[in-house]
Structure 1
Amino acid sequence: MRFLIKTLIWGVVVLALLCVAAPYGVGWLVAARFDRVVAHLSVPGYLQVVSRDFDRGWFVSRATVVLRPSGPLCRTRPCPVITLDSRIDHGPLAWGAADASLVPVLAVVTTHADLTSLWPRYVFSPAPDPLTITSRIRLNSRGQAWLRLDGASFDVSRQHPVAHVKTAAVTGALQSGLLARRIDGLRLDWPSFSLVRQSGGHLAWRNVHFRAQSAAGGALANRHFSADSITLDNGSGHATRLTHVDLTMRRPQPKTTAVALNIEKLVLPDNSQGTFILEARQRGMNPLAWATLPGRWSALGGRPGGALNAPKLYRDIVPELLPGGSRIQIDRFELAMRDGAIRARGHIQAPPHYRRTDTAVGLLSQLQGRLRLSLPRPILRRLTAYMLGVADTGDPQAAIDARIDAGVRELVARDLIAPVDDGKRYRIQIVLEDGRMRINGRDRPGWKVLVDQLQAAAQGL
């Protein structure tokens, strides 16, 4: 009996020591790994860690990390910052955590981030709740996190009202490797979002879902994105609407990504409708550069504003999209519209090192590639009309049609295009190699002039 009592007493003492000493040890371990984990938040050229602070306690520690977007993610100066405030409840029981349970853990981390701080010049009324991420780090140092951003309806203003935002709750989950140094899986669900600008314009989507799983090497290489609808309306009668969007990205081999994009219904700003299919693969490209392309393209004025003629496009942006040695291969491109389908396939490869250039011709001279393109006659006629400058001359339609038909015949005579399907479609094959261009099998010494003409025509399409 006395032996049993002693055993129970010693058991209680050991358990008490564990409950007291173990949390202290966990705090020491997390503090020792803190700087290494925070370093993984930095993305050179896009996101930098401004400051970090870790206040180690016995049972609870607190951490603050300040991040600042940089490069193309920073549209205003000075760049805004976002602060991650974390409460770290030490294991093995983490009694003080909001979702405490009897399952032993290394730590439970609750992080809050006020996303409105990314737009410091604007006022949000009422202020939306912060983003909350709750992470449970298991005893083997692997973790799982749950993300939530509550639904909200609020106005955005500066000196005057700017926009109204309405969003459903955003939820997500994340599986991580050792002490969150690697992400193994990610899920994000966003049922609805709507931003209506006071001056006109609408950005919205419904039922957006994103899934990602790690591949060999630990990167989130296998990803799937879907949306029931996406609306991009600038408020000036130019809206793009996408319905039933399905995008899959996977890694068939190291440093290579295969992409499959299907848009069941596409409505362009001129109200033309169609479908879109893309099957392609890339090697050596920077996904973050492509993610920031829409904003940088808009900053250059877009196609109508002359972005295709902007020196910055060829000097800075394209070399970032296609870094030295990278390659894009298009296995299938199809944009099917009322007038027919534009189809293309081919590949393009960047040089190991770029020479500085401010023009499309200077950039194309450095690329190696092959393109096979076919398009329906109505679209070719539109392109020819802009190349000839007869689209808005005010001449009688019969005279305009005659000049367009003559222009098409000249392109055929020069073997720049080849009719197929009894003239219903036209085909062109382009090969870029060592600064030279071959079109439909013939060397074209004057291809640089042709590129300048196509640039001018594309701005008015």
Structure 2
Amino acid sequence: MKKILLATVVPLVLAVFLGTPYYLGIKARETLTEQHRVLADTFFFDVVSHDYDQGWFSSTETTVIRFHPNLLSNLSKQLPANIQTVLDKEITLVNHVKHGLFADGIRPVRASVRTEFRFDPKVQEILNRFFNNPAQDPFTVRNTVYLGGGGKMDVRIAPFNYEELSGIKLNWQGMRADIAYQDGFKNYTTRFDIPGLSAVLADMGQITLENITVNSETREGREGVSLGASDTKLGRFEIEWKENIDYNLRLNDLVNAVTDLQIGAFINPTGTVAPAKLAVHNLAYQSQTDENKGFIDAKGRFSFEKLLYGEESYGPLDIDVSAEHLDAKSLAALKNRWQQMSTEAVDADKWQQQMLASLRKEGAGLFTNDPVLKVNKFELALPSGHIKVRGGLRFNGLEAVDLNDFAAMLGKMHAEIDLDVSKKVLESFAVTQARSFFATDAPDDAGEQADLTAKEQQDVDETVRLIMGSMLDNLHHDGYITLADNAVKTKIVLQEGKPTLNGKPFEVKPDEDVLDLVEPDGATPKPDSKP
């Protein structure tokens, strides 16, 4: 009897012992294949090749990727040459997969995966200059796949200290990311920690970043829009530069490349920054996105404790905004279109035209389904006073054809805004605009811009303040605004294309005295007839 039992049990145990790793290897491959699909669907990566060699107790997955060339072309002017070289070359990811119940220790799992990074020799040469510890891998990724198909990923970037004889010094304190995911990546949470980065750029300046954390929970919506919540914090950011910096930033590309957002699409500034120091303390951003019957509700909060620019201090800042009843299908289509544009060779002069065209086409449903936008709170303390704004905007009955008719859009828009702004803030803004106007005035005979003398600038500033003060007094006298405690307060309402201020219809009245001084051709002033 015992022999019969042994003859039955032993083969069964051996079958389970030997067969389980192979079966779990099959299940692990399913999970890794799904993760590969997520990687392949990422718009800023191209998958050059993919291979999976499955064994009995272990397997090897090899994937070759590269950043999309057109995306790099769009970003090339904003990236240093070394970083361009790193991003331009192919990267080989080799996943060494161990499958079996105890592949990761005493907790039963499908598999334990270690990712090996292989770089082009030129890239490896650059990395070796920074990560010069041969016993430490610059990048490590460990992926534990649980029996149910979910799992966790631990991602690390090693710290380094780098210094050149030229005076350049970099102190990177490393990065840690922890990702916990459900089967199929339908839901996952992430946490990123970056303790800090300090960079001394020889005699040009320095940059400091401290205590960056990102916590997020993401789930897939029915229409393909990512839902969930995020919480981002930055302890301190400081930059000091000692010479003029010319800039031409495609913020849309930069933001989209790292966050999958397009918030910078229409903010692409150019200009020159004078030598100065900029610092931000305790910056925070929180977001929440939900889906309800095919519509997206989203809210976000942005704040910082203090912003220092040169000798001036701004803050605190607190912005709380929300958007309701956004058509999910249109939002997904618009996101996909913008991502596609980011990987196309788009002429910079035509970029905003294409963005606006996509809003009218793919994004039309965002406007035609009665969306509601709210500024629940905007409060900023400035050296000259404060700005406080609350309000909201909604469209009622807007149709796609109205997107090409600004008057029609205004007629179907309802907006209410409460303003509370220090009088000195408005005066400072007007003075700044006037200075900008005179700084770009007509050049002299030599083609140089004529700068105002200190006395002339003082006279201009005082004149602008007097004009602004007079204008505010007139608006107060007419009932459009309230002046109290050195602040300007009013409620702006736009309904059916007609604006009201403080409940009073607002009409622009031409200044007849000014118009009388201008000839019909609008160019030559009339001579003064008085003696």
Please, what TM-score do these two structures have when normalized by structure 1?
0.72
1:139 CA displacement = 1.0
User: Hey, what's the Cα distance between the residues in 2 that align with 1:268 and 1:417?
Assistant: 37
Q: C-alpha deviations, 1:53-108, integer Å up to 9, x for none?
A: 222222221223325257767513997354433111112232xxxxx313221111
Query: What does the per-residue CA deviation read over 1:286-306, in whole Å, with 9 as the maximum and x for residues that have no partner?
Result: 8x98xx99xx9xxxxxxxxxx
Distance 1:399 1:21, change over 3 A: closer
Between 1:277-286 and 1:70-79, the stretch displaced more is 70-79
Structure 1 position 68 matched with structure 2 position 67: yes
Q: Which moved more, 1:143-152 or 1:403-412?
A: 403-412
Cross-structure match for 1:401: 462
Structure-1 separation of matches of 2:464 and 2:216: 53
Q: Which residue of 2 aligns with 1:276?
A: 317
Aligned to 2:247: none
Change (3 A) 1:354 1:35: farther
| 1:282-431 superposed matches below 5 A | 282-283=323-324, 284=326, 312-313=351-352, 316=355, 323-324=363-364, 325=366, 328-348=373-393, 368=413, 369-388=415-434, 389=437, 393-394=452-453, 395=456, 397-398=458-459, 400-410=461-471, 413=474, 419-422=481-484, 424-427=486-489, 429-430=491-492
Distance between the aligned counterparts of 2:401 and 2:36, measured in 1?
34
Offset, 1:130: 3.1
In structure 2, the partner of 1:142 is 150
Give the letter for the 2:318 counterpart: I
Q: Does 1:175 align with 2:180?
A: yes
Partner in structure 1 of residue 171 of structure 2: 166
Structure 1 gaps, min length 5: 95-99, 297-306, 447-461
1:200 counterpart residue number: 204
Match of 1:28 in 2: 26
Residues 22 and 55 of structure 2 are in contact (CA less than 8 Å); yes or no, is this contact kept in structure 1? yes
Report if the CA contact (8 A) 1:275-1:335 is conserved.
Answer: yes
Query: Residue 42 of structure 1: CA displacement?
Result: 4.3
Query: 1:299-342 CA deviation, whole Å, 9 max, x = no partner?
Result: xxxxxxxx9xx87456528977x954165421001111222111
1:266 to 1:145, Cα distance in 2 relative to 1, 3 A: same
Is the Cα contact below 8 Å between 1:106 and 1:139 reproduced in 2?
yes
Runs of 5+ consecutive residues of structure 2 not aligned to the other structure: 78-83, 132-136, 244-274, 343-347, 440-450, 510-531
SS at match of 2:305: strand
Change (3 A) 1:46 1:366: farther
User: Does the aligned pair in 2 maintain the 1:46–1:71 contact within 8 Å?
Assistant: no
Q: Give, in whole Å, the separation in 1 of the partners of 2:221 and 2:152.
A: 19
- After superposition, the Cα gap between the structure-2 partners of 1:374 and 1:13, relative to the gap in structure 1 and judged at 3 Å, is same
Counterpart amino acid of 2:100? G
C-alpha spacing 1:428/1:75, structure 2 compared with 1 (3 Å): farther
Contact 2:228 2:290 in 1 (8 A): no
Kept after mapping to 2: 8 A contact 1:225/1:246? yes
State the Cα distance separating 1:215 from its structure 2 match.
6.2
Give the distance between the partners of 2:311 and 2:500, measured in 1 at CA: 31
Report the 3-state secondary structure (helix = DSSP H, G, I; strand = E; otherwise coil) of the residue aligned with 1:205.
Answer: strand
Letter in 2 for 1:242: V
Distance in 2 between residues matched to 1:121 and 1:411, nearest whole Å: 64
For residue 244 of structure 1, report the CA deviation from its aligned partner.
2.0
Cα contact 2:28–2:110 (8 A) shared by 1: no
Q: Per-residue CA shift, 1:332-390, capped at 9, x if unaligned?
A: 01111222111112335687759999xxx99x979945443332122211222244446
Distance in structure 1 (CA, Å) of the matches to 2:488 and 2:40: 49
Matched, 1:19 2:17: yes
Amino acid at match of 1:87: H
What CA RMSD, in Å, does the superposition of the two structures yield over aligned residues?
Answer: 4.5
CA offset at residue 166 of structure 1? Answer: 1.7
The answer (yes or no) to whether the contact 1:418–1:426 under 8 Å persists in 2 is no
Q: Partner residue of 2:445?
A: none
Aligned-partner residue type, residue 75 of structure 2? R
Mapping 1:67-106, distance limit 5 Å:
67-69=66-68, 75-76=75-76, 80=88, 81-94=90-103, 100-106=104-110
Larger radius of gyration: 2
Report the TM-score when normalising by structure 2.
0.64
Decide which structure has greater helix share: 2
Q: How many residues align?
A: 412
Q: CA shift at 1:177, angstroms?
A: 0.8
Partner amino acid, structure 1, of 2:67: R
Task: Give the CA deviation at 1:260.
Answer: 2.4
